[in-house]
Structure 1
Amino acid sequence: MSQRSPSRDASRRNFLKGATLAGAAALTTPAAANTPPPDLPADRPKAPVPGPRLAAAETTLPPVDPDPVKQSSSGGDFMVDVLKTLDIDYLAMNCASSFRGLHEALVNHGGNKPEILTCAHEEIAVHMAQGYAKIEGKPMAMICHGVVGLQHATMAMYNAWCDRVPMLVMGGNIIEANKRGPGAEWVHSAIDPAAIVRDFVKWDDQPTSLQHFAESAVRAYKVAVTPPMAPVMLSLDAELQENPIGDPAALRIPRLATVIPPQGNDAALAQLAKMLVDAETPVIICDRMARTPAGMTRLVELAETLQCAVIDNFGRMNFPSRHPLNQSFRRSIISQADVILALEVNELWGSLNDFSDRIVRSSAPKYKKTAKIVTLGSRDLYMKSNYQDFGRYQEVDLTIAGDAEASLPALTEQVKRLIDEGKKSTFEARGKKLAGAKLATIAQAKSDATIGWDASPITTARLCAELYGQIKDEDWSLVGTSIRLSWPHKLWNIDKSYQWNGGSGGAGVGYTLPASLGAALANKRHGRLTVAIGGDGDFMFVPSTLWTAAHHRIPLLYIVHNNRAYHQEYMYLQAMAARHGRGITNTDIGTTIKDPNVDYATVARGFGVYGEGPISDPRDLGPALKRAIAVVKTGQPALVDVVMDQR
C-alpha cells in the first residue's frame, strides 16, 4: 500500500512486528492433519512480551497538542449520529489518517456503533459488505483512505455494481489546499475523489458542511437500497470530520423513508398473463430476481400455477434446486419455448444464444424465431454507458419496467383469473412431464458424480457430495463457489433464501473469500453454519481476509479448491496454442501456481485460523471436513485445503 503518514508508518511497523511474532508462534504448533482439533480457548494466547524498546514505542503518548483548548465535540460525532439512524450495523475499514476524525468519533462518541471491522485491504472491506448485504438484506458501510485507498477498493466496488448490491462507501479527503500537509496529504487528496468510480456507483457526493453530510448520507442510503440497487459513495473532508461543531442547534438529521419498489404496469402484466396462459411451452428464466426471502415463494407460486419450466441463472437464490419445475440443467428446453419470460436477467442475450470463440467467433440463437420474449425487471430503469456490464442487445416483444419480485403477486393473480378447468388439466400434464425430466436430471447428476470417485486429485463432485453429507442436517448457508462449480446446484437440496447468494457480479478475482466472510458475519447472528468453496487463485489475491475472520471470530468453513492454477486461463491458453498448432507443452507458464506449491492450511494457521491440508487422498477428505466443521460450530473460522481436479 502507498505511504500514508510518518506517524502511521511507525504504528504499522509495530503492528506488523507483533503480528509476525504471533504468526511465528502459531506456526510452531500446527494442528495435525489426522487428529481432532484442540479445544479453542475463549481467550487466545497472548503474544510474547515485547522487549524494552518495543514496549517503549507502544506505550509512548502522542505529541502534546500545542493548543491547550480541548474540543467538546467534533464533526465526526455528528456524522456518527447520522449513521446510527440508517440501520447500519457494521463499518469495514483499513485505518488511515484521512478519516481519523470519524474513526475516533466512532470508537469514543459512538461506542463502536456501527461496529468497526478491521480489514487488511480495502478490497476485503468492500467485498465483505457485498456478501453481507446479499444475506442480511441491508447495506454495510466501509471507509477508505483518500485516493489510494479508493483505488484499492475499486475492483470490489465494480463487482458490487455488476451484482446490483447496495453499500455505503465513504472516503477521506482534504479539500482545501491550504489545509493539506506536505507529502502524503497532497498525493492522497483530490478535487473529485469519486471520479474514478463514478461509472460504477449509483450516486456520489462530497459534502461541504455537516448539514450537507446529514442530508447526503440519508439520500445515499435511500438511493442504494432502491431497485436497481448499487453502491453509493460519499467523500468526506478531514476538516469537516475533525473540527468542532459550530452551531449544534442548527443541525438536524432528516428522516429516512425508503422507496417502495415499483410494480410493473397493470395492463402490461395482464398482457403478459394472457401470453403465459395461452402458451404451450412457457419458460421462465431468472437471475437476480429474489432480493428478499419472499422472492422465491412468489416465483414458486407463479411457476406452479402455470406448471411451467424455470431456469435459474443463480444470481440469487430464486428457485428451489430440487423443485420438479426446476429445469436449470435442461437449457435445451429453451428451443421448445413459445413464450420466454425473463425476470431480472442481467444479460439476456447470453441466456438465449450459443456463443463460440474458437477460431472465428460465432453465435446462434437457442430459441425459435416464433417465440415471444418478455422481460420484467428494473434493469431498464437505470443504466450507465462506459462499462459494458449490460451485455449484448437482445430483441424482445414486450418489456415491463418494474421490480420483478414486487410485480409477481399481481402477475400471478392475473394468471389465475385466466385459467379454466381445461387449462388446469393441460398444465398438470405439462408439470408431470417436467417432473419426470427433473428426476432424470438428478439421477444423471448422481451418476456423473461417481466418475473418478477415488481419484487423486480429488474430484470436485466428491468434495461437494462429501461436504453436503456432513452439513445437510444443519441450518447451512453456501455463500460462494469457485468458477463454474455447479455440483451443489445439481446435487444439494437448496430451498431456503439464504442457502445461496449468487456470484461476484463482475467476475473480478478476489471476491469469494472476503464476500463469504461478509455473508458469514450476517449468518452469525442467525446461528447458521456458513460454508464456501473458493479457488486457490482467488484466495491468493486476498489471503489476509483470514486475519479479519480470526480477529472478529466469524465462523466460516472455507474450502480451498486447490488446482494449483488459474485454470480457466490455463484452458484458454491451451485452446490458443492448439489453434495455432504449437502444442500445449508450455501452457503452464504464467498460468499455474506451483514450484513451489502453496500450503494454504499453513497460511491459515499463520493468520490464527484453524487449517487442515493439503488433502490429496480422498479417504482423508471426510474426516478433515468433520474436524473443521466442529471448529466452526465453536464460533471460529476454519480452512481446509483440498487438492482437487481442475473443474
Structure 2
Amino acid sequence: MAKSETSGLHRRRFLKGVVAAGGATIAAPQTVSAQTPQPPKGPAPTPTATIQAKERERPPEVERLTTEKTGSDFMVDVCKTLNLDYIASCPGSTFRGLQESFVNYGANKRPEWLTCLHEEVSVGMAHGYAKVAGKPMAAIMHGTVGTQHAAMAIYNAYCDRVPMMLFTGNAGPLNERRPGVEWFHSVQDGAATVRDFVKWDDYPMSLQHFAESAVRGYALSCAQPPGPVFIVADSKLQEDPLEEREERKLRIPRLTVPSQAAGDPNALREAARMLVTAENPVIIADRYARSQAGMDDLVRLAELLQAPVIDNRSRMNMPNTHYLCQSERAGTLVAQADCILSLEPVDLFGQLNTVRDQLQRTDVSRVKSGVKVISISTHDLLVHSNYQDFQRYAAADINITADAQTTLPFLIEAVQREASAAGGKSANEMRSEKLRQAYQRSIERTRAEAALGWDATPITTARLYMELWALLQKEDWALVSDSDFSSRWPHRLWPLDKHYRFIGGSGGYGVGYQPVAALGAALAHRDAGGRVVVNVTGDGEFNMAPHTLWTAAHHGIPYLTIIQNNRAYHQELMHVQRMANRHDRGVRNATIGTTIDNPNIDYAKIAMGYGAVGIGPVEDPNDLADAFRKGIAAVKAGQPALIDVVTQPR
C-alpha cells in the first residue's frame, strides 16, 4: 500500500512542482518576499519575432524518474495472499521490478526471497519443499533462457504431480524493449516451452488479470492431481507506475482451495464386496499418501482385509515395520492375487505386466487369469498428448476416478459393512499367520544379503546405510532421497514408520533432481522443527547441481549429503554393457562416456568451496562411523555438510 502522508511536504506533490531550467532543478516559490524588486510600470515592450517564435514552441518535457508505487508492488500484494512462504530464483532482469518489490515493498517476508545459482535449482527446490510441507512454494525464472534452464525440473514436478507456483518475466511491447539482450530474452508466448508439462498457464494483460490468474493458479496447483502452474509477469505491468486512482479499482480475489473428490459410493460398495470375498487380495500403493492420516488409513484397510501391501515408494505410503508391508515380495504376491486394489498408480499396466527388454520386446502378464482389478486414482484427470508420462493403457474392472487418500475412509466403511455381513474371520486369521511368517523370512533374508562383503572396498551400499543407521536411530530423522539406485537398502533395513521419513522419487527420472529436491525438502524440515535430514545421492546426480550447497549455507539450511560415489553414471554404464552384449562385441569399452574418473573429483573440497562442511573421500569402511558422526554433528549445529563415500555400484 502507498505510504501515508505526513505533515511535511509530500514527495509526489513536490515532484509535480519541479521544473528544469538550464540543467538545474528549481522548486517554484510559494510566496513573494517583500524585498523582491517590482517590475517597472508602463506598457510592456512589443516582443520581437524571435521571442514570439520561442514562446510558441512546447516547453521541454520533464522526464519522470521515480514513482511512489508500481505494478510489481500490487503483484506482491497478491502473492502475500497465497500462503507462500518462499520464492526461489536465480537473478534475472525480466523480473527486476518484482524482485525489488518483494525485498523492499514486501519486506522480504512471506514470501522470503531465496537465492539460487541455477533456475533448475529454484524449481527443484520448490519440488522437494512441497512434498514435505504439503503446500506450494514459488520459483521465478528469467525470461526465455531461465525457462529453458528450468524445464527439466518443471517436467520432474509435473510427472511427480507436485504443486508449485512458477513465474517468469517478459518484455512484451516491442516498441519499449531495449535493443539487444531484451529481445533475446523476450518471447511472444512465454509458456510455449513448458506448456506440455504444466497443469495450467497464463499471460496476464493487466494487473487485475494478474490477481485473478495468480489466485486461480494457486487453487489449481493444489487440486488433485496437483501440478506446476506457470504465470508470465509482463515487464511493463511490473514497472509502470501505479497511480492511486488505478489502485483503488483493483481487487484481489479470495483464495479458496478446492476440496478433493471422493469416489462414487456405488463403485465403492462393489469394490468392497470384491475385496472382502477375495481369497488373496493385494493392495498396491503408489502416489497415494500425502499425510500421516493417509498412512494410517492404509494400515487400517490392510488390517481389515489382512491384505499385503506393496509400496511402490512414489510416496511414503506404508510403514515397513508392519508385517503387512511386503514390497519385496511384489512379484509373488501379484502373481497369486485374485483381487488387486491399486491406489494412485503411476503405471497400472506395468503393475500387471512385464515388458522384456530384449532384441524384440514382448510383454507378459504378471497376473493370473480372472484377477479382479480395482483402481482409485486421479491419473486420468491430468493427461497431455505429447509427453508420454501417462504410460500404456490398462483397463481395470472398477476404475474409480477420485483422490485415493480422500476416498479411502469411505472404502474402509464399505469394507466393514461387507465384512460384518459375510463373516469369514477365520480365513483372515489364516492369511494373517502366513503373511507374518513371510514378513519375518524376508527380514532375515535381507539381513543376510546386507552382510555380504561387509569389509569390502569399495564400500558396499548396504554397509553405508547400516553404519549411518547406527547413528541416525538416536535422532528424529528424515530421508529425502530415493533408494532405487542403492538396492533399496533403506526401505529394506531402516524402520520407515512415519510419513515424513521419506518423500519418494523424482517423477520424471531427470538426472539432477536429487540434490535440488533435497535442498527444498531440508528447508521444509527445518521449519517443521529441525529434524536431521539426510540425502544419499549418486555422484552423477550431484554433479548436475553441486551449487545447491551454497544456497544451503547462505540461507542456513542444514542437511547431510552423502555422495554414493561409484565414479560413474552406472545406470548408463549398464545400458551400454547390455547393448554390447546384444551386439556380441564385449563390454570392454562400455566405460567410455559413462565413467567419472581420471581425474577423480574431490567432492569434499567442492563442498568447502561453497561454504559447507566437507568430509572425505572415505574409502575404508571402518572410517564410516567417524565420518557420519562428524557430519551429523555439523547438521545439528545448523550447517550443511557433505561426505564423499567411495562405493560399489549399487
The TM-score with structure 2 as length reference comes to 0.88
1:186 pairs with one of 183, 187, 191: 183
Q: 1:136 aligns with which of 127, 133, 151?
A: 133
Which residue of 2 is the match for residue 523 of structure 1? 525
Q: In the TM superposition, what is the alpha-carbon distance from 1:68 to its structure 2 partner?
A: 5.3
Query: Is 1:102 equivalent to 2:105 in the alignment?
Result: no
1-structure distance, mates of 2:430, 2:398: 28
Q: CA deviation at 1:613?
A: 0.7
Check the 8 A contact 2:140/2:167 in 1, yes or no.
yes
The 5 Å alignment of 1:38-437 reads 67=63, 69-113=65-109, 114-246=111-243, 247-331=246-330, 332-420=332-420, 422-437=423-438
Amino acid at match of 1:512: Q
AA in 2 matched with 1:228? P
- Give me the whole-angstrom Cα distance separating, in 1, the residues matched to 2:359 and 2:467: 40
Following superposition, the deviation at residue 482 of structure 1 comes to 5.5
Of the structure 1 ranges 575-584 and 303-312, higher mean CA displacement relative to structure 2 is found in: 575-584
Q: Distance in 1 between matches of 2:353 and 2:382?
A: 24
Residue by residue, what CA displacement relative to the aligned partner does 1:21-67 show, whole Å, maximum 9, x if unpaired? Answer: xxxxxxxxxxxxxxxxxxxxxxxxxxxxxxxxxxxxxxxxxxxxx94
Partner residue in 2 for 1:535: 538
Contact 1:165–1:230 under 8 Å retained in 2: yes
- Gap regions ≥5 residues in structure 2: 1-61
Q: Secondary structure at the match of 1:277?
A: helix
Match for residue 630 of structure 2? 627
* One-letter identity of the residue aligned with 1:328: S
Q: CA deviation at 1:360?
A: 2.3
Cα distance in 2, alignment partners of residues 329 and 482 from structure 1: 13
Query: How much does 1:355 deviate?
Result: 2.3
Please state if 1:595 is matched with 2:598. yes
Report which of the two structures shows the higher radius of gyration computed on alpha carbons: 2
**Superposition deviation, residue 261 in structure 1:** 0.3
Report Cα offsets for 1:374-402 as digits up to 9, x if no partner.
Answer: 11011122211110001111122110010
Q: Distance in 1 between matches of 2:129 and 2:157?
A: 11
Which residue of structure 1 lines up, in the alignment, with residue 569 of structure 2?
566
Q: Distance in 2 between matches of 1:569 and 1:69?
A: 56
Q: Does the aligned pair in 2 maintain the 1:600–1:614 contact within 8 Å?
A: yes
Asked whether the equivalents of residues 454 and 618 of structure 1 are also in contact (C-alpha less than 8 Å), the reply is yes
Residue 60 of structure 1 aligns with which residue? none
Check whether the contact 1:155–1:508 (CA below 8 A) recurs between aligned residues. Answer: yes
Q: What is the rounded CA distance, in whole Å, between the counterparts of 1:211 and 1:476 in structure 2?
A: 44
Deviation by residue 1:115-141 (Cα, 9 ceiling, x = unmatched): 111000000010000000000000000
Instruction: Please tell me the root mean square deviation across aligned C-alpha atoms, in Å.
Output: 1.1
Q: Which residue of 1 aligns with 2:40?
A: none
3-state SS of paired residue (1:484): helix
Question: What is the match of residue 492 of structure 1?
Answer: 494
- Per mean C-alpha deviation after superposition, the further-off stretch among 192-201 and 412-421 is 412-421
Note if contact 2:483-2:489 (Cα within 8 Å) is conserved in structure 1.
no
**Cα offset, 1:152, TM superposition:** 0.2
SS state of the match for residue 250, structure 1?
A: coil
Q: Which amino acid aligns with 2:581?
A: A
Do 1:482 and 1:561's aligned partners in 2 also have CA atoms closer than 8 Å? no
Secondary structure of the structure 1 residue equivalent to 2:607: helix
Amino acid in the other structure paired with 2:489: W
In 1: Cα distance, 2:482 partner to 2:219 partner: 31
* AA aligned opposite 2:502: W
- What runs of 5+ residues in structure 1 fail to find an aligned partner? 1-65
CA deviation map 1:214-271 (0-9, x unaligned): 0000000000000000000001101111111131110111001111000000000011
Match of 2:511 among 506, 509, 512: 509
Contact 1:377 1:401 in 2 (8 A): yes
Q: List aligned pairs for 1:436-475, cutoff 5 A.
A: 436-475=437-476
- The alignment of Structure 1 onto Structure 2 pairs a total of residues equal to 582
Do 2:483 and 2:491's aligned partners in 1 also have CA atoms closer than 8 Å?
no
Structure-1 separation of matches of 2:362 and 2:492: 29
Q: Partner of 2:589 in structure 1?
A: 586
Bigger mean CA deviation after superposition, 413-422 or 625-634: 413-422
SS at match of 1:596: coil
Q: Is the 8 A contact 1:482 1:535 kept in 2?
A: no
Does the CA contact (< 8 Å) of 1:483 and 1:535 recur in 2? no
Q: Shift of the alpha carbon at 1:429?
A: 2.0
Q: In 2, are the aligned partners of 1:353 and 1:365 still within 8 Å (CA)? A: yes
- 2-structure distance, mates of 1:395, 1:140: 36
Indicate the SS of the match to 1:251. coil
* AA matched with 1:236: A
The answer on whether the counterparts of 1:561 and 1:642 sit within 8 Å (CA) in structure 2 is yes
Q: Which moved more, 1:224-233 or 1:460-469?
A: 460-469
In 2, distance between residues paired with 1:72 and 1:319?
Answer: 55
Cα deviation, residue 363, structure 1:
2.0
Aligned partners of 2:558 and 2:636 also within 8 Å: yes
Structure 1 Cα separation of the partners of residues 372 and 428 of structure 2: 19
How many Å apart are 1:359 and its aligned residue? 2.6
Read off the aligned partner of 1:196 and give its amino acid letter.
T
Q: 1:618 aligns to what? A: 621
Residue 438 of structure 1 deviates from its aligned partner by 0.8
What amino acid sits opposite 1:409 in the alignment? P
Deviations 1:157-212 (A, max 9, x none): 00000000000000010111111111110011011010111100000000111111
Matched to 1:77, the amino acid is: D
TM-score (norm 1): 0.89
SS of residue paired to 2:328? coil
Shift of 1:69: 4.6
Sort the Cα spacing of 1:595 and 1:251 in 2 relative to 1 into closer, same or farther, 3 A. Answer: same
CA distance in 1, matches of 2:276, 2:472: 40
**What is the CA distance between 1:595 and its match in structure 2?**
0.6
1:339-371, Cα deviation, whole Å (9 max, x unpaired): 011100111111222222133222211111110
Partner of 1:4 in structure 2? none
Deviations 1:261-293 (A, max 9, x none): 000000000110000000000001011101222
- Kept after mapping to 1: 8 A contact 2:619/2:645: yes
Shift of residue 338 of structure 1? 0.4
CA distance in 2, matches of 1:428, 1:86: 50
Distance in 2 of aligned mates of 1:352 and 1:639: 40
Q: How far does the alpha carbon of each residue in 1:43-102 deviate from its partner, in whole angstroms, 9 at most, with x for none?
A: xxxxxxxxxxxxxxxxxxxxxxx9455211111111111111110000000011100000
Q: What amino acid is the match of 2:454?
A: W
8 A contact 1:478–1:499 mirrored in 2: yes
| Paired residue secondary structure (2:424) | helix
- Would the aligned equivalents of 1:336 and 1:367 in 2 still touch at CA under 8 Å? yes
More divergent stretch after superposition (271-280 vs 524-533) = 524-533
Using CA pairs under 8 Å that are at least 6 residues apart, name the structure with larger relative contact order, 1 or 2: 1
Distance 1:261 1:432 in 2: 37
* CA apart distance, 1:321: 1.1
Post-superposition shift, 1:483? 4.1
